[in-house]
Structure 1
């Protein structure tokens, strides 16, 4: 061993003292992880602030349903006195939680498009090779998506109240509904994250989304209650709506808004969130910047 190498080896123990506590290092690691999450979320918020048309388009779609479709059926299609309602309600009141779900669903799927774009531009490769656990980086991305979804959904609810929709927002039940909205946003964002594993190119995005967004939305309780489907004899539609996780996201918000027990809805939403996010973490390969699931699917 050379004299210089011997000196370096003697200094090495002094650089990391044997009796040093791991707690300060853990705190530094946590601070680094939180700083990375903050940077990712601020980046998404900044991008959103530069895209004013994105907010307008997110509001126009559900407001058209509320102002035109729901107004036309306001007195034609009344909702009977069933849970979570204590009295008859007009259709526009019933449809608002479903339209909030529409905002969350479309933004969650749009986040999938953004992930595919970032992957093609090489940004995802840089992100996933950062010196942090891959699940934490993807979770930070997911939190940024959910935050944008919730902000857009709140903006829609405010506009809906301003145009005359009667909603019990100023109560503790409103806070529960907000928590349900956040959980639904996380679940749908995790689904978008999982879909971005499978979508190889931007050109494939539109076709894939047509097989996800519209079936999830229309085969749910967003527009009509489950008992209406069963009563009309549409048995297969009823069964598909029962097994649709989007149904449970909407029902959780609907029941929470009126202070009623949402039943299994929170467990289904949170369970799907864990499953979708776990599969997305498994599918992303930090060395290539896109999912191993895509590679395996393409070779099948």
Structure 2
């Protein structure tokens, strides 16, 4: 057990130190959602009318509506950043050293996933604090109840990053991931507009958005910010997390990666 805990502490600490030393990564993680919140929201406010939908009890501003989606954006992009770091570690050889340790491969990958999730959650809370400073606040209890939702969503998107990193062989291929995974996943969701708006324009797009796991992660965060529990979103998010994790473990299988215990 001590070996497991030592590896957990070492890997999480390494992820934290890497994040601390890359200050531009923290700034970029906050600048992106803040631009949407303070710039794009001003233009979309008049174009996108909002009705009273759960968990809201009254009409809200567009800025208030997109805050959960922007928290999801932070988790999504940090999950992809974690994927990029894993690809870099593989090219540098440090990933091989990690996976050839005597500890189970699933535990080592879990430690990487946990470290990435912790950083994602901290970034999301930093964004919520900045949004509150601009007058976009949530119920006080919501800042506490949203923590489990952020963790669940962060684990799901981190597992997606693990899965992608098992197939991406070169850093140059990461641009394709941005175009064909991250952006469609973000824009085809309820992060920026409610699903009923999408249903008015296209039933096909509405169906895609409804099946998008990122949509359910955002809705889980949205309800949690108002101290409500969205059961279907939670179940779908957990199910997809299990699927992503299982596929990532298969992707890092020694038979595929060519990395054995003997190195």
Alignment map for 1:1-300 (pairs within 5 Å): 30-168=1-139, 170-171=140-141, 173-230=142-199, 232-286=200-254
Give the distance between the partners of 2:153 and 2:229, measured in 1 at CA: 17
Give TM-score, length-normalised by structure 1: 0.83
Asked if 1 retains the 8 angstrom alpha-carbon contact of 2:251 and 2:257, the reply is no
Secondary structure, counterpart of 2:201 in structure 1: coil
Do the aligned partners of 1:134 and 1:286 also contact (CA within 8 Å) in 2?
no
The match for 1:295 is none
Q: How many residues align?
A: 260
Q: Secondary structure at the match of 1:198?
A: coil
Q: Pick 1 or 2: higher relative contact order, CA cutoff 8 A, min separation 6.
A: 2
- Aligned partners of 2:228, 2:198: CA distance in 1, in Å? 22
Summarize the Cα distance change of 1:120–1:140 in structure 2 as closer, same or farther, 3 Å threshold.
same
Please tell me the root mean square deviation across aligned C-alpha atoms, in Å: 1.7
Give unpaired runs (5+ residues) of structure 2: none
TM-score (norm 2): 0.94
- Give 1:285 shift: 3.5
Q: Note closer, same or farther for the CA distance 1:288–1:234 as it changes in structure 2 (3 Å cut).
A: closer
1:191-213 CA-partner distances (Å, limit 9, x unpaired): 00000111111111111221000
Larger Rg: 1
Structure-2 residue corresponding to 1:296: none
- Cα deviation, 1:153-183, whole Å, max 9, x if unaligned, reads 1111111110111211x21x43221110111
Q: Distance in 1 between matches of 2:149 and 2:2?
A: 28
* CA–CA distance in structure 2, aligned partners of residues 287 and 36 of structure 1: 24
